[in-house]
Chains A and B, each alone.
Chain A
Amino acid sequence: MPVGGVVSFILAYLSVAAVYSLLSISMNIEYGWAGIPNFGKAAFIAAGGAAAAIVAAQLGPPLLLGVKGVVPGGLGFFAKYNALLNAYAAHPAATWGVLVLSCIIGGVIAMILGVLFTFPAVRLREDYLAIALLMAAQLVWIVLRVDKQIMGGTFSMVLPSPDFTPVARLLHVPDTVVKVLFLWGLVAVFLYYSEKLMNSPFGRKLRAVRDDEIAAEALGKNVPVSRLQAMMIGSFLAGVAGAIYVLVHLASVNPDYFLPDITFMILAMVLVGGVGNNWGAIAGAMLLALMDRVGYIIGSRLATEYGMLWGGYLYYIVYGLAIIIAIAFRPQGLVPEKPVKTPAWRVYIEETGETPRFLKPIWARLRSLRARRKGKKEG
C-alpha cells in the first residue's frame, strides 16, 4: 500500500473510532453504570440523524441562509436540495449552525424518546426492558424508511457537513486532519462530562441500583427514576453523537445507518473495553473500530475480487466473537471499573491517615507492588 493509502486509512480509522467512542461513552452510562440493556440505542442515534436531515433541508435554510426550506420526498426535491447544498457551500458559518442546531434538537428528541420507550418496562426485569427497547428501535427505523418527509426514505441524503477549510488553511494541514482533531476534541468533552457526572453521589446511586435494586429501594433510592435519569443522559448524548456521526463523519444520512447492528456494535465496544469505565469504553471503541476497518477491507476484497459475498458480513463474526469472548473470559472488560471518586475519600484519608490502594497514583501502586514482590523473594 502506498504511503498516501496508509495515511488516509489511519485518518478514516481515527474518524470512525472517535464517533464510536462518543457512542460507547453514552452506552456506558446506561449499560455500565446503571445496568440498563439499551438494545434500542440505534433509535436514539437515529434521532440525531433525523434532526440533522430536518435541520439541513427544512429548518436550516430559513434560519441560517434566509431562504425557504424544502421537504424531502416531494417531486423535484433533489434539484431544490442541491441548490441549498450549494448555498451552504458558500456560507461555511451556516454549516456550523446546522451542526449546532442538529446536536441540540437531536439530543432533545432522543431524550424524549428515551423516556417514552423506557417508561413502560422501567419497573420490570431487564429482559422486558431490552425487548421493548429493541422493538422501539425497529419501529423507529421503519418509520424513517416509510416517512419520506424526514430523510427522504431509503435514498441517501447528502448533508452539509461543517466546513473545516478555514482552520485547515490556517494550520496548513488537510481538512481531514482538522476533522479528526475536532472529533477527538468532542470525545474529550464527552469524557470530561461523564467522568464529572459519574464521580458523584449520582454515579454511586446508579451503581447501587445496578448492583442490588431491592437494597437501593429500601435505602431511599427511587429505582425507576434513577434508571430514567440514566436513560435520559445516555440518550441525549447518543442523539448528539448521532448528529455528529451523520454530519461530520459520513456527510450523508440514510435510515439504514440506524439498523440495530450499530446498537450491538457499541455494546460490544463497552463490553470489551470496560463495563463502567469511560476510558475503557474508548479503548474498546478504538480496538473494535480497528478490527472492523481491517475486516471491512479484507471482506470487501473477498466479495468483489473472489465473489465470496459473505465477505461483506465479516463484521458479524468480529463483533459476535468479541461479545462472547468478553463475557466468557473478561466480564469486567480490558479496563475494569474504578471506585467512585468523590471528596468523601479526602475525608477518609484525613481521618484515617491512610490512602486506599486504588486512590494512589499508578506509579505508587507499581512501586508498592514491586516492593511486595521483592519482599516475597527475600522471605
Chain B
Amino acid sequence: MPRDILVVEDLHKYFGGIRAVDGVSLRIPERGIVGLIGPNGSGKSTLFNTIAGRYKPDRGRVIFDGVDITGWKPHRIYKLGLVRTFQNPRLWLSLTVFENVLTSGRDQRGESPLRAPLHRLWAGQEMEYARKALDWVRFVQLGRVAASLSSDISGGQMKLTELARALMSRAKMLLLDEPAAGVNPTLAHQIFQNIARLREEYGLTFFIIEHRLEILFDYVDYVYVMHRGRVIAEGKPEEVAENPVVIDVYLGG
C-alpha cells in the first residue's frame, strides 16, 4: 500500500454566503492517477485553487508530502513539488512557447537580479534547462510552434504548453484542471496515455479534473465526485459509474 502524498482534511472555502468548498476530505496515494468529477459549479476548481494556495481555506487542513501546507503561498507550494495547471490556460503571452516552459524551471540562478547581468554565472544552467525544456515541448508535441509567441497558438496547444510547463518544474504531483479540454478525442487519449507514461517513468502523481468521463475513466485508478461543494461519492471508476447518486447528479444537474 503506497503512502498518501496529498491529504485534505475537512476543507472549507466560502465566498460571502456561497459555500464553494464545504468540508472536503480526500487522500491521494503516491503514484496514483485520481480523477475529480462533478457538474459545473460543484466546486472542483475552487478545491484546486484552495489546495494550491491561491485561496486561503476558511477551515480544514492540506498536507502534502508530510508537510502541512494549509494557507501557504502558491510559490512555496510549488517548491515542495505540487504544481497545477489552469482551467483557462494562463500563459505568459509575451513569451514564446519554449520560454513559457523554460521559465518554470526551478531554482534558476539567473533569476537573482545580482547574478542576472553576469551571464557567465548562469549560462551553463540555462543551457541545460533549455535542453530539458525543449524535450518537454517535444514531449507534448509542440516542437513545431516552440518559437511562436504563446499568444499565437490555439487553445488546445495552450493547454499542452501548460502541461509541459508543469512538467518542467520537476514536480512530484500535478493538479491538472481539464487537461484535455478543447482537443479532439484522439489527442485527448494521447494526453492521457502520456500521463500514464509519466507515472511509470517518473513516478509522478496526478489529480485530474475532467469533464469527458468516457476518456478519464479509462486511465484513472480512483475517482472523487463533487456536488455543491461536497464529495458525494468516491471509488474505482467502474463503481462510481454505476453509483445511483452520481447518475442522479449528472442527469439532474
Contact = CB atoms under 8 A, between A and B. Distances in A.
Interface of A: 193, 196-198, 200-205, 207-208, 210-212, 214-223, 229, 232-233, 276, 337, 339-340, 342-348, 351-352, 354, 356
Nearest to B132: A347
B191 interface: no
Interface stretch (B26-34, B63-71, B108-116, B238-246): B108-116
A347 B166 CA distance: 21
Contact of B113 (A220, A229, A348): A229
B78 A220 contact: yes
Contacts of B116: 196-198, 200-203
B84 interface: yes
B178 interface: no
Contacts of A215: 86, 90-92
Nearest 4 CB-CB pairs, A to B?
A201-B110, A344-B130, A202-B116, A347-B130
A343 to B, nearest CB: 5
B8 interface: no
Interface string B114-129: 0111110011001101
B7 interface: no
A37 to B, nearest CB: 17
A344 B98 CA distance: 9
Interface of B: 52-54, 73-75, 78-79, 83-84, 86, 90-96, 98-99, 102-104, 106, 108-113, 115-119, 122-123, 126-127, 129-131, 133-134, 143, 146-147, 165-166, 169
A103 B211 CA distance: 60
B126 A193 contact: no
B75 to A, nearest CB: 5
B98 A348 contact: yes
Given A218-B52, A219-B169, A201 B111 contact: yes
B110 A196 contact: no
Q: Among the interface residues B84, B86, B116, which one has the most CB atoms of the partner chain A within 10 A? A: B116
A347 B83 contact: no
A344 B127 contact: yes
Given A200-B116, A219-B166, A347-B134, 17 more contacts: A200-B117, A200-B119, A201-B103, A201-B126, A207-B92, A207-B95, A208-B95, A211-B91, A214-B54, A218-B52, A218-B54, A218-B74, A218-B84, A221-B75, A340-B95, A345-B130, A352-B143
A201 B122 contact: yes
Contacts of B119: 196, 200, 342-343
Contact of A223 (B52, B53, B75, B110): B75
A200 B110 contact: yes
B64 to A, nearest CB: 14
Q: Among the interface residues B90, B111, B115, which one has the most CB atoms of the partner chain A within 10 A? A: B111
Contacts of A352: 134, 143, 146
Contacts of A339: 95-96, 99
A204 B95 contact: yes
A356 to B, nearest CB: 4
Contacts of B98: 344, 348
B130 A212 contact: no
Given A204-B95, A219-B104, A343 B123 contact: yes
Contacts of B112: 202
Contacts of B110: 200-202, 342
Contacts of B117: 193, 196-197, 200
A348 B52 CA distance: 32
Q: Among the interface residues A196, A217, A219, A348, which one has the most CB atoms of the partner chain B within 10 A? A: A219
